[in-house]
Amino acid sequence: MINLVLFGPPGSGKGTQSVKLQEKYQLMHVSTGDLFRMHMRENTKLGIEAKSYIEKGDLVPDAVTISMMNNKIENHPEAKGFIFDGFPRTAAQAEALDDFLNKKESPINKMIALEVDDLELVKRLLYRGKDSGRADDQDEGIIQNRIDVYNEKTLPVASYYDEQNKYIAVKGVGTIEEIFDRLCTVIDEIID
Ligand code: AMP
């Protein structure tokens, strides 16, 4: 079992790279953003609650997010491991994930962070917003709020894993393949 957290600000390429990594390493990709969007499309109670936060670029409350993630893991006992994308995003989520995985004796092996500067992030998100249909990618104010929320609430999660010697950063600019190769180099070392 290998569990990875793919970390980085909105627009850093976590989703794109997770899809490629899932295929190469046969790990299950779990994106809390994708799960929330699925609930919103299906108009579930959770989706309706999440929408009010997501459309402003704020974080969905921890209790809702953590229980959604725990359910997802619990429902996939066949998984050989997980790539967590967009989770944990707060210190409380990181602690909850550790508790949950430690009980299963399959802790996080590594948090891999994609480093991209803010100007590049805004450019990428606005570009993605043209096709993705995501309202939160189309408004510069909402994008800026997501980046501010990341800096304030999510960045401390990197220190949390660093203290456990589980943090590594990778340059998140270049072609998709170049970034993918950098991630694979890190993951191959973990597996060896
Ligand atoms: P993403 O697709 O990862 O950019 O997430 C889209 C939005 O979903 C975020 O801006 C948050 O509003 C919400 N979201 C995703 N993951 C989390 C999380 N771990 N905790 C709280 N809110 C989240």
Tell me the pLDDT tens digit for each residue of 27-61.
999 999 999 999 999 999 999 999 999 999 999 99
Q: Which comes out higher in pLDDT, residue 173 or 1?
A: 173
CB of residue 8 inside a 6 A radius of ligand 1: no
Verify whether residue 14 is a known catalytic residue: yes
CA distances from 17 to 6, 7, 46 (A): 9, 11, 27
**Residue 133 pLDDT exceeds 90:** no
Verify whether residue 134 is a known catalytic residue: yes
pTM of the entire predicted model: 0.97
User: What is the residue whose two structure tokens read 């500067």?
Assistant: 117
Other CB atoms within 10 A of residue 120 CB: 14
Q: For ligand 1, what atom is nearest to the CA of residue 57?
A: 10
Q: Which of 37, 89, 110, 124 is catalytic?
A: 89
List, for residues 75-121, the tens digit of each pLDDT value. 999 999 999 999 999 999 999 999 999 999 999 999 999 999 999 99
DSSP state of 9: S
Token pair listed for 15: 């989703």
User: What is the residue whose two structure tokens read 């989706």?
Assistant: 47
Residue nearest to atom 8 of ligand 1 (CA): 33
CB of residue 86 inside a 6 A radius of ligand 1: yes
Output the DSSP codes for 49-113: HHHHHHTTTPPPPHHHHHHHHHHHHHT-TT-S-EEEES---SHHHHHHHHHHHHHTT----EEEE
Structural contact between residues 115 and 171, judged by C-beta atoms closer than 8 angstroms? yes
Cα separation, 179 vs 172, in Å, equals: 6
CB of residue 10 inside a 6 A radius of ligand 1: yes
